[in-house]
Amino acid sequence: MSLLELENVTLRFGGVTAVNDLTMDVREGEVFALVGPNGAGKSTVFNMISRFYTPASGSITFDGQDLLRLKPHEVPRLGIARTFQNIELFDRATVLQNLLVGRHRHRRTTLLEEMFFLGRARSEERAHRHAVEEVIDFLDLQPYRDKFIAGLPYGVRKVVELARALATKPRLLLLDEPASGLSVEETQDMRWWIEDIRRQMGITVLMVEHDMGLVGKVSDRVLALDGGRKLAEGTPAEVQAHPEVIAAYLGTGAISKTASATGERV
Amino acid sequence: MRFHFKTSYDHDIRLFPDWWNFAAYAALLVVLLALPFVLDSFFLGEVTNVLIWAVAGLGLMLLTGQTGQISLGHSAFMALGCYTCVIMMQSGVPFLLAFVLAGIITGLVGALIAIPALRLHGVYLAIATLALAIIADDIIVMLRRWTGGVNGMFAPDITLFGVEINRWVNPEYWYYMTLAIVLVVTLIYRNLLRSPLGRAFAAVRDSEVSAQAMGIDVARTKTIAFGLSCAITGLGGALMGLFAGSFNNETFNFLIAIQLLMMIVVGGLGFIHGAFLGAIVIAFLPQGLSLVTDVLGRGFYVPGLEIGVFGMILILFIIFEPMGLYGRWLKTRIWFELFPFARRDMFRRQKSYLKTERVR
């Protein structure tokens, strides 16, 4: 059964059609990858789901609910969390504080309770802390718990961003290039984590990724975009073998040469 | 070197991380409580003044240091807090109730003004709030029926729990009252920082996009921040007016707002300690300057010297120590704690602190 559905979605920026009549669905419990060359509209799709952009036409529904009627800050409350391509963490806060912000959608304390730290404030705070600690354990972030983001290396920041998204306890996780800028080992870690997120936590994952090695290993289905248009959809192998996909990546002349080299990194 | 070993989640939640820290603040409180027995009434008045500035500064700190929104109009809210408190006291409302209500009213008005104002960013927000500070002056004159206009108002004596508190008769009572208010405000501030709202403030400051993606209503959070900030600053204003004894439309002019901003930048943006350190600088700088000019002789008195020196200090801090006095203290402390392993570039700035300055 599909969790997220986009139907005939079109988005234009002035004269540029960033996403053109795109229809796709993400099923509950799967890892779904969006691939395509730069400027294909992958991140734009993410930004529409997060409601930073509003499509000109079409509909986006999550678990039967119309996302287009929501404001950006209401989307996470349904259980959609995301990471950003160019890491957007809270730089002047510690890792722990960043993850605790992820718990914001579970906030139940009122302003007065928080001002005087009365009633539920303390027990809620402990509960948030506990939930965050589980994520820290899952992603091995213990050494960085009290470190400020501003001083952390890139690879760790990437993991912290994933952790912050997980701290919201989402049903659907949007990962915008989870492996970009990571070393080979870090990409390996990311791969296992994505598999564990799907298997142990039962979270559906929709990701944008250029590393076809990673996409091929973790995703159930892949959708290739170019110029905002759907080129191909199917299993990783099917999409990688699709002539239009190869053409979009390598140019039309490359089709004959690489058609046989499926399964390799494109 | 102290190592902070955590054994439960409460270690991250409680107000004082460890006994050593608690003892340090307890000692500070004891010193503060003992001050009236040591200082004469003039210096006690000066310390009271520092605490009053600190309250007003904590208000602006919540907005600028925590939420990253600039305001050059907080003098207007100091005036609002002061006038509402005194007008209520004159119509027979007991001091404590009038004081708290003045804070609440200022907060509500602030939140109302924030709804349109916080659609602006950076420099534009600074200009809009500066306009507010300048308009406040005229509004006070226009409402002269209630505010006394240019003739001003005299602050009534404060009666708290049956005790009359007068600055000239019993300055130590004034001091203790201010100290109690400062403690309550600081506690509220600290509580906010360790709860979801305080973290939402920091999230809005550091990345609005990302805050939204975590389910934080940015507009609402900013409005609440502005409201709370105005409420606290209003309390500071009420204390300032009551302490001064008389005030008029010029008491809370826009220069006060600029001083307030300078104070928190010099003290250290984003730190509670910063508001207090900045308040010490603001309150004692005029005295320090007059000492210097006295030594140099009467011929050296220059009109506007104070503002000039204030401005220079602000610029020097922004260039050489953007984290302010408290930041400098933290760096010094870490240098000693790590001795001899501290590195020069450990605190290299990664991003500009006042993110509000970035024009979107």
pLDDT at B303: 74
Q: Is the pLDDT of residue B298 over 70?
A: no
Higher pLDDT, B357 or B289: B289
Task: Provide the shortest C-alpha distance from residue B168 to chain A (in Å).
Answer: 34
CA dihedral B147, B152, B153, B154 (to 10 degrees): 170
Mean of pLDDT values over B65-81? 93
C-alpha A55/C-alpha A46 separation (Å) is: 12
Total domain count for chain B?
A: 1
- The lowest-confidence range among B3-7, B163-167, B274-278 is B3-7
Mutate to test the interface with A, among B15, B184, B206 (most CBs of A within 10 A): B206
pLDDT at B318: 86
* Triad B297, B298, B304: Cα angle to 5°: 115
Mean of pLDDT values over B93-103? 94
Share the mean pLDDT of chain A.
Answer: 89
Q: If pLDDT is split at 50, 70 and 90, which confidence band does B300 have?
A: low
pLDDT digits (tens, 9 = 90+) for B238-250: 999 999 988 988 8
Closest CA to B278 of B229, B327, B228, B242: B327
pLDDT at B360: 35
Of B192, B199, B206, the CB nearest to A115: B192
Does a structural domain hold residue B258?
A: yes
Higher pLDDT, A74 or B352: A74
Does a structural domain hold residue B16?
A: no
Q: If pLDDT is split at 50, 70 and 90, which confidence band does A102 have?
A: very high
3-class SS letters over chain B: CCCCCCCCCHHHHCCCCCHHHHHHHHHHHHHHHHHHHHCCHHHHHHHHHHHHHHHHHHHHHHHHHHCCCCCCCHHHHHHHHHHHHHHHHHCCCCHHHHHHHHHHHHHHHHHHHHHHHCCCCHHHHHHHHHHHHHHHHHHHHHCHHHHCHHHCEECCCEEECCEEECCCCCHHHHHHHHHHHHHHHHHHHHHHHCCHHHHHHHHHHHCHHHHHHCCCCHHHHHHHHHHHHHHHHHHHHHHHHHHHCEECCCCCCHHHHHHHHHHHHHHCCCCHHHHHHHHHHHHHHHHHHHHHHHHHCHHHCCCCHHHHHHHHHHHHHHHHCCCHHHHHHHHHHHHHHHCCCCCHHHHCCCCCCCHHHCCC
pLDDT at B355: 41
Alpha helix stretches (DSSP H) within chain A:
42-49, 95-102, 111-116, 120-138, 154-167, 184-199, 212-218, 236-241, 243-250, 255-258
Residue A127, chain B, CB below 8 Å: the answer is: no
Does a structural domain hold residue B12?
A: no
Residue B125, domain CATH: 1.10.3470
pLDDT at B359: 35
Share the mean pLDDT of chain B.
Answer: 87
**Structural domain containing residue B154:** 36-357
Residue A254, chain B, CB below 8 Å: the answer is: no
Does a structural domain hold residue B30?
A: no
Task: Please name each of the domains of chain A with its CATH number.
Answer: 1-57+173-266 (3.40.50.300), 80-169 (3.40.50.300)
Contact residues, chain B, for A88 at CB < 8 Å: 207, 209-210, 213
Chain-centre distance of CA B251, in angstroms? 17
Of B198, B199, B213, the CB nearest to A50: B213
Does a structural domain hold residue B307?
A: yes
Higher pLDDT, B295 or B328: B328
Q: Is the pLDDT of residue B347 over 70?
A: no
CB contact under 8 A, B215 and A92: no
- The lowest-confidence range among A61-75, B38-52, B155-169, B177-191 is B155-169
B 167-206 residues inside an 8 A Cβ radius of A: 188, 191-192, 194-200, 202-203, 205-206
C-alpha B99/C-alpha B81 separation (Å) is: 8
pLDDT at B64: 93
Cross-strand bridge partners of residue B165: B158
pLDDT digits (tens, 9 = 90+) for B172-220: 899 999 999 999 999 999 999 999 999 999 999 999 999 999 999 999 9
Q: Is the pLDDT of residue B327 over 80?
A: yes
Contact residues, chain A, for B197 at CB < 8 Å: 111, 114
Task: Indicate the residue type of B315.
Answer: I
CB contact under 8 A, A100 and B196: yes
- The lowest-confidence range among B7-16, B60-69, B100-109, B292-301 is B292-301
CB contact under 8 A, A168 and B214: yes
Q: If pLDDT is split at 50, 70 and 90, which confidence band does B232 have?
A: very high
pLDDT at B322: 84
Contact residues, chain B, for A128 at CB < 8 Å: 196
Residue reference for tokens 């806060």: A93
Higher pLDDT, B239 or B346: B239
Q: What is the pTM of this model?
A: 0.89
Q: Is the pLDDT of residue A247 over 80?
A: yes
Cβ(A228)–Cβ(A24) under 8 Å?
no
Does a structural domain hold residue B103?
A: yes
pLDDT at B358: 39
Task: Provide the shortest C-alpha distance from residue A238 to chain B (in Å).
Answer: 33
Q: If pLDDT is split at 50, 70 and 90, which confidence band does A265 have?
A: very low
Size of interface A-B (CB pairs under 8 A): 117
Of A72, A97, A150, the CB nearest to B212: A72
Closest chain A residue to B349, measured at CA: A150
Task: Indicate the residue type of B119.
Answer: R
Q: If pLDDT is split at 50, 70 and 90, which confidence band does A120 have?
A: confident
Q: Is the pLDDT of residue B109 over 80?
A: yes
Q: Is the pLDDT of residue A24 over 90?
A: yes
Cβ(B11)–Cβ(B17) under 8 Å?
yes
Does a structural domain hold residue B81?
A: yes
Does a structural domain hold residue B27?
A: no
Q: Is the pLDDT of residue B73 over 60?
A: yes
Mean of pLDDT values over B246-274? 90
pLDDT at B352: 41
Higher pLDDT, A237 or B4: A237
